[in-house]
């Protein structure tokens, strides 16, 4: 429950749930069934993020894990679904997910596999049961880049990968 509590502390305005977390000896921490939902919304877009599996590559030394500060070497996110709604006022529902949580002093490389982004248009006030637009990505890699500004610098990532969507055959 410690992992769920850390995500929930970062996102106090949302309902956060982690179905299961376990230490995989010699590999790191595996999370299953992460969901982040907006309790003020209804319909399918109320769940902003669902992730089937997150593998956090880190030392599995129990002392480091008990202190809550393991050195994270890499993160692999498998089968996430991000549901983004453009709201009546023109803002995006998922904007409140930023900044992303930081669980260490440095940002590790992140690999995202089999991702889906569903976009809903709520500007007219209707609650659509199906997304207006859908993007599917096979594999994306986010590599942190150095930026000036020390500890308070804006985190920058270099994106690399491919995706397909409803109206485009392939984006690289």
pLDDT digits (tens, 9 = 90+) for 123-138: 766 665 667 778 888 8
What band does 154 get if pLDDT is binned at 50, 70 and 90?
A: low
Going across the sheet that includes 72-86, the strands are: 15-24, 28-37, 47-58, 72-86, 110-121, 133-145, 156-165, 168-171
pLDDT, mean over the chain: 85
User: Nearest-CA neighbor of 84 among 73, 99, 75, 97?
Assistant: 97
Q: Is 169 exposed, middle or buried (0-12, 13-18, 19+ CB in 10 A)?
A: exposed
What's the pLDDT at 12? 96
Residue 150 has pLDDT above 60, yes or no: no
Buried b / exposed e over 44-63, threshold 16 CB at 10 Å, is: bbbbbbbbbbbbbbbeeeee
At 154 the three-state DSSP class reads coil
User: In what helix (H) or strand (E) does residue 8 lie, and over which residues does it extend?
Assistant: helix 2-10
Mean pLDDT score, 105-122: 87
**Strand 72-86 to 15-24 pairing:** unpaired
Mean pLDDT score, 107-133: 80
At 78 the three-state DSSP class reads strand
What DSSP state is assigned to residue 99?
A: S
What's the pLDDT at 74? 94
User: In what helix (H) or strand (E) does residue 67 lie, and over which residues does it extend?
Assistant: helix 62-67
């Amino acid at each position: 429950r410690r992992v769920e509590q850390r995500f929930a502390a970062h996102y106090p305005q949302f309902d956060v749930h982690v179905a299961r977390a376990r230490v995989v000896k010699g590999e790191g921490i595996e999370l299953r069934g992460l969901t982040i939902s907006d309790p003020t919304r209804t319909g399918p877009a109320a769940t902003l993020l669902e992730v089937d599996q997150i593998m956090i590559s880190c030392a599995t030394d129990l002392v480091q894990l008990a202190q809550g500060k393991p050195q994270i070497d890499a993160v692999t996110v498998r089968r996430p679904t991000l549901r983004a709604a453009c709201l009546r006022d023109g803002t995006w529902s998922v904007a409140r997910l930023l900044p992303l949580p930081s669980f260490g002093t440095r940002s590790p490389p992140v690999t995202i596999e089999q991702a889906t982004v569903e976009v809903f248009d709520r500007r007219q006030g209707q609650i659509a049961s199906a997304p207006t637009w859908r993007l599917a990505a096979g594999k994306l890699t986010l590599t942190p880049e150095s930026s000036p500004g020390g500890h308070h610098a804006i985190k920058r990532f270099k994106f690399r990968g491919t995706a397909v969507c409803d109206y485009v055959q392939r984006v690289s």
